[in-house]
């Protein structure tokens, strides 16, 4: 079953600006204000500082040229407008050039609490604040460059690692457990659940273990990986990533912590490929 987008991105004008409707701006305001009530004590300090550095507010949907002006000065990153869905190669090529892709649509009120595809709130509010942190921004850049140097047969595992870090990562700080993943911090449910619930498993970040854990995108996560610092992620990219993936394939995939429904595109299992089924 192939996922088909229900959204269409707005084309920017020659200067990169998009005309949004009052309803779309209102959706941003609602999403922004309710997340701002949730993130104190749950989001990492670098995320909250990033919101301030980017001058994000709930007044209206941010225009990408305005976001880019701040990002470029801080870490050399830019946000690139894209269609609702892009290929994995296009995604990694953008990241490898310090350009974070963002669709220029915002979710409807009917999908306010959960949207299956990343909208501009997820990308700008969820991801861009941490791209103001030099070490984390460099990690994402180096990660994408390394992905492009490896065969596409390795990409599912590397996408899995992206999921458990950039999207749904936690970090242990002097003040306690905090979220840094954009998928967490743009979600009304995951923001609280990821750091406070006693239901999910939280494991210290280990690449081989992360490579072996299936996930699904349409439910609260069953497993979160906890890093000690962003330098830990950056340093991982300097290791023999292929050897770690080979080790994961030898050990095989962990059983899913969730029900497996046949032909459900929201379930990401079997990323280890044939090796664990020999």
Annotate 49-79 with DSSP letters as a single string: HHHHHTT--SSSPPPHHHHHHHHHHHHS-EE
Q: Which two tokens stand for residue 240?
A: 């023999």
Q: Is 122 a catalytic residue?
A: yes
How many angstroms separate the CA atoms of 121 and 32, rounded? Answer: 8
Burial bucket for residue 220 (CB in 10 Å: 0-12, 13-18, 19+): middle
Q: Which of 9, 102, 186, 187 is catalytic?
A: 186
How many angstroms separate the CA atoms of 62 and 74, rounded? Answer: 18
**3-class secondary-structure state, position 215:** strand
CB-CB contact of 71 with 54 (8 Å): yes
Q: Is 167 a catalytic residue?
A: yes
Q: Which of 167, 187, 190, 253 is catalytic?
A: 167
CB-CB contact of 264 with 243 (8 Å): no
Q: Is 153 a catalytic residue?
A: no
Q: Name the one residue in this structure whose structure tokens are 């300097």.
A: 238
Q: Which of 10, 70, 122, 141 is catalytic?
A: 122
CB-CB contact of 237 with 149 (8 Å): no
Q: Is 127 a catalytic residue?
A: yes
**3-class secondary-structure state, position 143:** helix
CB-CB contact of 94 with 47 (8 Å): no
In terms of Cα–Cα distance, which of 39, 45, 40, 38 is closest to 171? 45
Q: Which of 9, 46, 102, 127 is catalytic?
A: 127
Burial bucket for residue 52 (CB in 10 Å: 0-12, 13-18, 19+): exposed
Catalytically annotated residues: 122, 127, 167, 186
């Amino acid at each position: 079953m192939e996922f088909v987008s229900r959204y269409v991105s707005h084309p920017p004008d020659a200067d990169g600006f998009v005309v949004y409707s009052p309803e779309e701006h209102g959706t941003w305001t609602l999403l922004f204000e309710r997340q701002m009530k949730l993130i104190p004590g749950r989001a990492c300090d670098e995320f909250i500082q990033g919101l301030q550095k980017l001058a994000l507010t709930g007044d209206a949907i941010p225009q990408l040229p305005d976001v880019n002006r701040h990002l470029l000065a801080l870490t050399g990153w830019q946000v690139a407008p894209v269609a609702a869905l892009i290929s994995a190669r296009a995604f990694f090529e953008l990241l490898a050039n310090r350009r974070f892709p963002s669709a220029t649509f915002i979710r409807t009120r009917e999908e306010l609490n959960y949207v299956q595809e990343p909208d501009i709130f997820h990308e700008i509010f969820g991801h861009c604040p941490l791209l103001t942190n030099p070490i984390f921004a460099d990690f994402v850049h180096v990660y994408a460059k390394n992905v492009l140097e490896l065969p596409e047969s390795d990409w599912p595992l590397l996408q899995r690692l992206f999921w458990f870090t950039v999207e749904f990562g936690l970090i242990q700080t002097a003040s306690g457990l905090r979220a840094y993943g954009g998928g967490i911090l743009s979600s009304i449910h995951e923001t609280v659940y990821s750091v406070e619930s006693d239901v999910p498993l939280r494991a210290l970040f280990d690449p081989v273990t992360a490579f072996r854990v299936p996930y699904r995108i349409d439910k609260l996560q069953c497993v979160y990986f906890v890093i000690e610092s962003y330098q830990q992620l950056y340093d991982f990219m300097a290791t023999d990533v292929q050897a770690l993936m080979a080790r994961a394939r030898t050990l095989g995939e962990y059983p899913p912590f969730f029900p497996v429904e046949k032909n459900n595109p929201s379930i990401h299992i079997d990323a280890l490929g044939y090796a664990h089924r020999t």
